[in-house]
Chains A and B, each alone.
Chain A
């Protein structure tokens, strides 16, 4: 039984599904409920939806939409976007969300990570780190929809989050997001080699081969957005996911 996971990680904004390029220019991709139905048929084992609308920072999650999505999903579903309080977390879990994903709030209020881990368990808590690479090749974690530079490097933050109780880390390369040129493998390797909890590589995957490279670099699981949402060189919108056999054949045995 393969231990790796291949996870569609899609973006929500005002009830619609969007894709970005380097976290900019959100482009409409379709209806999330429809996407979930398609992914159900593709036997996707795990799904992540992140709400990137800045209004979430103020209003919190759109519980009605999330309830509709989890009810439609025949696989475990993780949600992120505007989660700031333990009550919001409890409500999401009650709705059937398997894992909550924290980004800015984990960085602004680290004790929240510990509180959530203690309440719903570390395995239900994912901390998401969005990373930019400077011209000089240095990595830095950004938050608030990539608007605010924390000036901390991802490895230090990853180690800190693990210690605080995160069960899993979603590491996204802002530079590679939407470019379909492969993951930032150096980033994946740096983080994965310093923590014991699973690291999910995100940002840049353009092919199943890239997914394999992510696993080889040390990721426990690989996520992708554009790869599962676009098709062909003109990036026509087509929700897709490789056949299970294709995944198994190409990725089995890679895990570092």
Chain B
């Protein structure tokens, strides 16, 4: 049986090492995409990313992949956005001025704990998640699954059915979102050892 193919987008933000290694551990044949041609031939696409929203949008445009991602998304390509990658799936973010991919009807909002001085921004640490709607991405994951989060902004979805799982940091926020072939996780599966591995293994089955 051949290994599932997955393509990880390299668009200049952060180190892909852990993601690539974890995907290999999950049994995938991993390819790195750096341009539109690479994305076009993908069977599954992971959109990673760390840093600021506008920097992410610009990087997608500079790499020339913005349009082909949208095109292939429309054709049913399974796409998993991770951390900033998930935020870029939305329309916009309070963090920046540019528009995201718009593949999900959602926008990013900053954690605001003014008044509550105990909680720091960014949210940085391990948290458990609570499933809100069934999904193949979260299929079989243990109830006590926890994941590593680092973020100051969180994605708010217009449609409640797009929220697949939530977590809590001062307030409830969306941890996993998705609509059909477009999915996103706010946490870093590649930094969440066996829990992240289980989630990526599910993605590889889609």
Residues of chain A at the chain B interface (Cβ within 8 Å): 1, 40, 43-45, 67, 70-76, 94-96, 98, 121-123, 167
Is there an interface contact between A74 and B124, defined as CB atoms closer than 8 Å?
Answer: no
Known A-B contacts A94-B15, A95-B15; A43 and B126 likewise in contact (beta carbons under 8 Å): no
B123 (CB) vs chain A CBs: closest residue:
A123
Could you give 18 example pairs across A and B, Cβ below 8 Å? Answer: A1-B126, A1-B127, A43-B194, A45-B126, A45-B148, A45-B193, A67-B17, A72-B21, A74-B190, A74-B192, A74-B196, A94-B14, A94-B15, A96-B14, A96-B17, A121-B122, A123-B122, A123-B124
Tell me, in angstroms, the Cα distance from A167 to B128 when the chains sit together. 23
A167–B125 alpha-carbon span in the complex (Å)? 13
Check if B191 sits within 8 Å of A71, measured CB to CB.
no
Count contacts on B: residues with CB < 8 A to the other chain. Answer: 24
B184-202 interface bits toward A, Cβ cutoff 8 Å, 1 = contact, 0 = none: 0000001111101100000
CB distance from A132 to the nearest CB of B (A): 31
Task: Name which residue of chain A comes closest to B194, CB basis.
Answer: A43
B17 to A71, Cβ gap below 8 A?
yes
- The chain B residues found within 8 Å of chain A, CB to CB, are 14-15, 17-18, 20-22, 25, 120, 122, 124, 126-128, 146, 148, 150, 190-194, 196-197
Q: Which chain A positions have C-beta within 8 A of B18?
A: 70-74, 96
Q: In the docked arrangement, what's the CA distance between A74 and B194, Å?
A: 8
B121 CB → nearest A CB, Å: 9
Known: A74-B197, A98-B191. 17 other contacts (CB 8 A): A1-B126, A1-B146, A43-B194, A44-B193, A45-B193, A70-B18, A71-B17, A71-B18, A71-B20, A71-B21, A74-B21, A75-B191, A75-B193, A76-B148, A94-B14, A96-B18, A123-B122
Contact status of A96 and B15, CB under 8 A, knowing A121-B122, A123-B124 = yes
- In the bound complex, residues from chain B placing their C-beta under 8 Å from that of A1 are 126-128, 146
- Contact check, B22 vs A70: say whether CB atoms are below 8 A apart: no
Interface pair A76/B191, CB less than 8 Å apart: yes
Contacts of B124 in A (CB 8 A): 98, 123
C-alpha gap A103/B193 in the complex (Å): 29
C-alpha gap A156/B62 in the complex (Å) = 49
| A74/B191 contact (C-beta < 8 A), A1-B128, A1-B146 known | yes
- Shortest distance in angstroms between A24's beta carbon and chain B's nearest beta carbon? 34
Residues on A with C-beta less than 8 A from B191 are: 73-76, 98
